[in-house]
Amino acid sequence: MTDSWTDPLTDFDARSPIEAARVFHEAAEANLNAACRRGAVDHISAQGTLLATGDLHDNPIHFARVVQLAGLPGTDSKRPHHVTLHEVIHSERLVGGVDLSHRALLRVAALKRKDPEEVHTLLANHELSQIVGAGIVKDGVRVVDAFNEGVEYAYGGEAGPVLEAIAAFIRSMPLALRSDAPEGGAGGVLCAHSLPGPDLIDRFDPDILDRDIEESDYEPRKGSAHIMVWGRRHSPELLQQLAERWGVKLFVLGHEHAPNGWEVRPPNAVILNSDQETGVALKIDLADPPDAGPELNLVQLASVD
């Protein structure tokens, strides 16, 4: 971990349920009231740089390196970047058998409230599961129950308001970060946890990106937000269809496993994993977004000093 890294949790007493709930609520307000928020997306210009990530699943070292690379507050960088953060909870690194990944989500919330126009906290299926109660089982662990038990372990009888604040933060999250097309360019970048898969595309409302998310959008296998964050196995035809509909040159996604940390999905998408040993982040010049191919400016997070 870099010497210049400052843990966002040092800005307040993260052990206090009152303080933790306050930070989650303030981050929810930052999500909803940021100038970049339009409907269900954060929308940014084709200027500056973007550091895109994949699933993080409470990897604290890689999270610290992402923050350092992005030049967020608490680092020594003079040039800030846009950065995406998603799927930060439900860790495989249990502490005494307890999932304490709410602390990772609290770090993200602290960053969002401090830098709302450049930190983009995207909704992912694991976060969504915390508010719809989806029964995700990972390595034999019921991750929603384990997460809730971790919050109760940390805050005892005062865990209820913290869990309510977490739910408010999750409900405030945009589905995607979208950049404008550069001058003379064919399209911008769209970062999301995933895209609707071919099995449920007929139930998906492609206009959801341009409107506010409604509670019905979270309904499992029926709502468009749920369909989007759970989608897999995107065909080239579907990727091209969505790109044309939304004016996108490059999709940057997570959700699916990429053994090498990244995987190109032709014709216009790349899958990133940021949690594993081979985890990566992707640097993008928003004025000149790349094609999905071997020339992508990928950073191996394990190699960051």
Q: How far apart are CA 175 and CA 247, in angstroms?
A: 16
Beta bridge partners of 17: none
- Helix boundaries (H) for 115-268: 125-132, 143-155, 159-171, 224-230, 236-246
Higher pLDDT, 231 or 92: 231
Q: How confident is the model at residue 72 (pLDDT cuts 50, 70, 90)?
A: low
Q: Is pLDDT at 80 greater than 60 in this prediction? A: no
Question: Residue 33, class by beta-carbon neighbours within 10 Å (0-12 exposed, 13-18 middle, 19+ buried)?
Answer: exposed
For residue 169, the model assigns a pLDDT of: 98
42 in helix, strand or coil? strand
Contact 273, 279 (CB under 8 A): yes
Tell me, what's the pLDDT at 133?
76
* Helix (H/G/I), strand (E/B), else coil: 90: coil
Report the pLDDT averaged over residues 68-77.
Answer: 67
Residues 221-227: what's their mean pLDDT? 96
Tens of pLDDT, residues 94-110: 887 789 999 999 999 99
95 vs 258 pLDDT, higher one: 258
DSSP bridge pairs for 269 = 251, 265
Using the predicted structure, report yes or no on whether residue 57 has a pLDDT greater than 80: yes
Q: Using the predicted structure, report yes or no on whether residue 76 has a pLDDT greater than 60.
A: no
For the cut 90, the answer to whether the pLDDT of residue 11 exceeds it is: no
The mean pLDDT of 188-193, rounded to a whole number, is 97
Per-residue pLDDT at 140: 66
Please give the share of the chain, as a percent, with pLDDT higher than 90.
79
Q: How far apart are CA 87 and CA 29, in angstroms?
A: 20
pLDDT at 97: 77
* pLDDT-wise least confident of 24-28, 71-75, 93-97, 221-225: 71-75
Cα separation, 142 vs 134, in Å, equals 10
Q: Which helix (H) or strand (E) covers residue 69, if one does?
A: helix 60-70
> Do 190 and 248 contact (CB within 8 A), yes or no?
yes
More confident of the two residues 39 and 294: 39
d(CA 237, CA 296): 22
Classified as helix, coil or strand, 281 is: strand
Specify the pLDDT at position 4.
Answer: 62
Average pLDDT over residues 74-99: 78
Strand residue runs (E) in the chain:
37-38, 41-44, 49-53, 82-85, 119-121, 137-138, 141-142, 176-179, 188-192, 248-253, 262-265, 269-272, 280-285, 297-300
Residue type, 211: R
pLDDT of residue 183: 86
Cα separation, 127 vs 143, whole angstroms: 11
> Domains, the chain, ranges and CATH?
17-300 (3.60.21.10)
pTM here? 0.94
Look at residue 73 in the predicted model and tell me its pLDDT. Answer: 54
What do you get for the CA distance between the two ends of the chain, in Å?
7
Which tokens is 86 given? 């998603």
Q: What is the pLDDT of residues 110-135, one digit of tens each?
A: 999 999 999 999 999 999 999 997 66
Please state the rounded mean pLDDT for residues 234-254: 97
